[in-house]
Each structure stands twice: as structure tokens, then as C-alpha cells.
Chain A
Amino acid sequence: MNSAINETGVDKFMKIFIYIFLTFALLIVLYPLIYIISASVSDPAAVNSGEMWLLPKGFTLEGYKMILENDEIWRGYLNTIFYTALGTLINLAVTIPAAYALSRKDLTGRNFFMGMFVLTMFFSGGLIPTYLVVKSLGLIDTIWAMVLPNAAAVWNIVIARVFFQVTVPKELEEAAIIDGCSNFKMFMKIILPLSAPIIAVMALFYGVGHWNSYFNALIYISDKDLFPLQLVLREILVLQEMSSQSTNLTGNMAEALHSKQQLAAIIKYGVMIVSTLPVIIVYPFLQRYFVKGVMIGSLKG
């Protein structure tokens, strides 16, 4: 709209400066991502000695082969898929109906419910009391500890509520009620068919959350058969590096650690990619949904 007007020297300089700044930001973010991909298929020796800067050197798929042969990673992967599917399903079953009910002006007590939910954003019992509740419910070392303590997120309920307020015409609801439609029927027949976009956004937000979460597993799960992928990754990517600095290890442990370190050195970049792969694959298709979700949420707090 401003192309018709001659740009002054200051403006031109500013424009160039902006482009340089953005290109710099682009490269800073992009470089580590490309580096990881290259490193995952390069000769580990070339990576570690610093001979590989950007593009793969000494191409090998040895790392990926070892990842595929590693039972722990497989089991973690399957567990995570399971937790993500189950968890997201529960999240949706809790969030969508609650958000719809809260969007209805004729719900007596909606301010009470809203207030009760929102308060938890600012004040909580904290780590220890929450842990004690989960423990006393007998959820420790069960799959439920991975999905129930995060069954809903206030922010997502707010986003979904705003969606319903904005997209469902009041007249439609009123007409349905006058025609004798029950709330159940209205939800199933009218609301749900209209909610595909918000269900998609919510499934993505919650899904990525479950896929990437490790802290619940860290505090509630000690059974290795139940470990999600992120905990397996933690052992490979983080723990081996740190424990190499402590010296008082027994011979057996040190040996096990040593073999783990050897393994980790070869597969560390590969597992970063393999574990992020589902999100990477989904991301380009769904980016606009993610963005839309954030924007819906920012419309109204």
C-alpha cells in the first residue's frame, strides 16, 4: 500500500536492517536443526572431532540401525504412543463438554466453575501435596499416573469456551431448545459437528504435550516397562553425560555406564530426530491450526 510513495534513505536503510536481522534469526534457529540431522547420519568420529560443520561427513546409517535395534527405545516409543492417544482422548472428553457448558449463558453457576478452574492457574498445592494425592489414589507406577493428573488444562478450556461463544449462534441453540431438543442431543447433533476445528487444535496442543512430557513419568513411574520415550531419552542424552563426572562408581555400574556411553555417542543425534519425528511430520500440516489456537486464546483472556 505504500509502494507508490518514494521511500526515503532512512526507510531504505531500515528495511535492509530488518532483512538482515530476520535472516540472522532464521540462520541462528536453522543451523542447529540442520546440524543435528547431518550429525545423525555422519561418522561419529567426524562429528566429535569437529570436522563436520554443516553437511554430513562419512555418511552412515549405523546410528539409526542401533536405534532400531534398541529395545528400550522401542518400548518407550510404544508407551509414549499409548500415553499420548489415551491422554489426549481423556483431555478432549473433559475439555470439550466443559468448555461448551461454560459457553452457555444460561448455565447457572458458570462464574463459580470458571473461577474455580482459573484460580488453579495462579495457586496450586505444589509438587509435594499433588504427589501425595496421586500416591494415595494408588496411581504410582500405573499408566493412569501419566494421564489423569493432567486431564485438563485451564488455558485450553478457556480457548475452547471462547471458540463456542464465537462460532455457535445463540439463535441456533434457542431454536433447538424450543423444539424440545435436550442438551445431550444438542451437543451430539449440533455442537460436535461444528467443533472440528477446535477439536483439532485441542488434540494437537494436548497431544504434543503428552508426547514431550517427562516430568510426570519422572516422579510417578519407576517401572522401566512403563517408561515413556522421554525418560529413555533422558537416560541416553542427559544422565550418561552427567554421571561421567562422578567418580565413585562400582566396577559393574561403571562398565554398564561405559557401554551406554559408547552407545550414546553414536546414537545421540539420531534419537533426537527419531523422538521428534512425529511432531516434525505433523507440524507443517498443522502449523496454521496451532497458530489459530493461540490466536483464539489471545482474543479474550
Chain B
Amino acid sequence: MFKKILLATTGSPASFGAARVAFDMAKRYGSEVTIFHVVGVPTKAFSHVVNDVRTGEEVEVDEEYLAWVEEELKTTFAKQFEGADNAKIVLTTGVPAREILREARKADSDLVVMAASSGENASFHKGYPGSTLQKVAKAARCPVLSVHRESASYWGGFSNILFGTDFSKQAESAFKFALSTARELDCDLTIFHALDISGKVLDQNEIEENLIIARKRIRETYVPLMGDFKNYDIEVWEGTPYVEIVKLAREKSVDLVCLAHHTNELDPERARIGSTVEQVILRANCPVVSVSKPDKV
């Protein structure tokens, strides 16, 4: 299921965690990794000058520069390259989110892996607000795995998956992905719903009632889809969703959190990557995969 992994990286330390996870997965599951790097954002109208993604400086993209960037990436990821026979580097210019989506589509990638923050440079980002991850997560046809910290407790291989649901339509796709990953990799799967009581005044009875309803809803919605898969638990907690997800993930030593990307914000410039997903990415100790489309799950 992870035949083709697209590792979108800026080569900066912020993306080392993502790289480690991508390469570990590739080695473990025999996947092909493409290290994809957008060298710069086109600027100055139709000239051949771009702003280097890392330094923000103006550079002229030519063979020499590309060769240099490739060498840099090879050195940066030298350790990972060892033993990864199925890895290649692809360089391009353009607006990062767009180019990542273009490559994922072209290569028919099964998973995009990227850092939550790319160490974004302010100067070329003016006029392209909104984070790269957010745009990719929203439009990609395949799941998007983000790794926020290098220390993410990923010891190689997944054994505990946490699927968080808000019962949205997108959550169905996220569930399918979580289930098939759990099946294929023989993991425990926790299906979780956090009853959002933040900013609400509910009495205890009401909360209890809603918890029971949510539990029932999970049973009705997801259990029938699992067939003979038995390694699952259901948890329903009340609180602020992201806090509860992170707490549960820690408690259960989860090594992959799977959520649906969803947001009601219409303005893509303002739409954060569904605030729950974003908060979980920032706070969880493990990789977080966001799924928004039914394909590739």
C-alpha cells in the first residue's frame, strides 16, 4: 500500500524527521521513495530567476545550480540513502504546494510524506500565504503523512494506530486508510471520538448521554466495515478534540495518528489545515496522517 512514497522536503533540519520516517517505511515495506525538492519559487515575471526555497535568495536555475542542490541533498540524506536502493531525487521550480501536488499526481504516489513546517522563508512567501502542508493535505488524492518533530516516537514500523473521527464524510476515507494499514501491517487500531465540549456548558448527565450516543455511532458506522479484523478498541472521551487525541496517543503509545482533513473555512488562504489536525500534528509524538480523498485508501 505504500509502494510509492513522495518525500517532499526542503532539505532543512525541519524536515529530517519526515525524511527518517519516509526512508524507514521504504526499507521496511519495500517502497520506492522520491525525494522531491522544489528549488525555488519563480519570480520576476518570466525571467529565469527564482527565490531559493531555503535561503530566500535570488538564484538562477541552471544545470550547475541543480547539480549543486542535488549533491547537497545527497549529503544531507547520505545515511538514509544507505540501503535504500529504490530512492531517487527529483528537483523542480515552482510554487511548492502546487509542484508537490503535480508530482504526486504524475507519479501516482501512494503517500506524501512531509514536514509540518518547512522552515518557510518569509520573503518569497508573500503573495503565497497559507502553508504548503495545508494546501497539499487538502488537495492531494493520497494520504499525506506529516512529521513534526525529529524525536517523534517512531521506532520503525507501525504497531498502534489511532483513528480519530468527527463522523464527517472525509472521515470515512481516513477510516478506510487506517483500517487497511492496520490490517496490512498487523497493528492495533483504536477508533476514537472526542466529544467536543470546549466552550460549551453541558451538565454531567448530558455529557454521559452524548458519550453513549457517540460510542453507539462508532459501533454502527465502523464496526460493520471491519469484517474479521479484531484488533480494535473504541474510545470516546470528552474534552477539546486535539488535546484528547494527543493524550490518548501518548497513553497508548500510538505510533500513527490518522485523521481526516476537514475544515469549514472557505477561504483557502485562511483555512488552516482543519484546526484539530493541525494541533495534533504540532503536539503529537508520532507521525500524523491526514486523509481527505477516497482514492489510495
The answer to whether A and B assemble together is: no
